[in-house]
Amino acid sequence: MTKLRWTTQAVEDVEAIRKFIANDSDAYADLVVARLLEAVERLELFPRSGRIVPELADPQLREIIESPYRIVYRVLDESVEILTVFRASRLFRSAFED
């Protein structure tokens, strides 16, 4: 089984998503975070199951779409590194320009 590792950036992204949604509903915020975490779990068995990030065309950088979010990760030799989580309506590079 492949080991999952979350970067500080990815953890902060999920925390920010939860905090934003919790302004309206704690229950829905918890549900969204649970869906994001569940989407990533499949990478333990199928690390290359996400699509290649279209903006970068690097086979090591892949993503899972858990609407309305993109979960971007890097496939390493024996692990998967979750890099960032952001709104699917944004391009990968623009997610870091704000």
pLDDT tens across 7-42, in order?
A: 999 999 999 999 999 999 999 999 999 999 999 999
Q: pTM here?
A: 0.89
What domains are there in the chain, each with its CATH number? 3-96 (3.30.2310.20)
Burial of 56 (0-12, 13-18, 19+ CB in 10 A): middle
Instruction: Say how far apart CA 24 and CA 20 lie, in whole Å.
Output: 8
Instruction: Say how far apart CA 87 and CA 70 lie, in whole Å.
Output: 6
- Beta-bridge mates of residue 70: 65, 86
Mean pLDDT (whole number) for 43-49: 94
Q: Is 36 helix (H, G, I), strand (E, B) or coil?
A: helix
Q: Where are the alpha helices (DSSP H) in 1-98?
A: 8-22, 26-41
Residue 94 has pLDDT above 70, yes or no: no
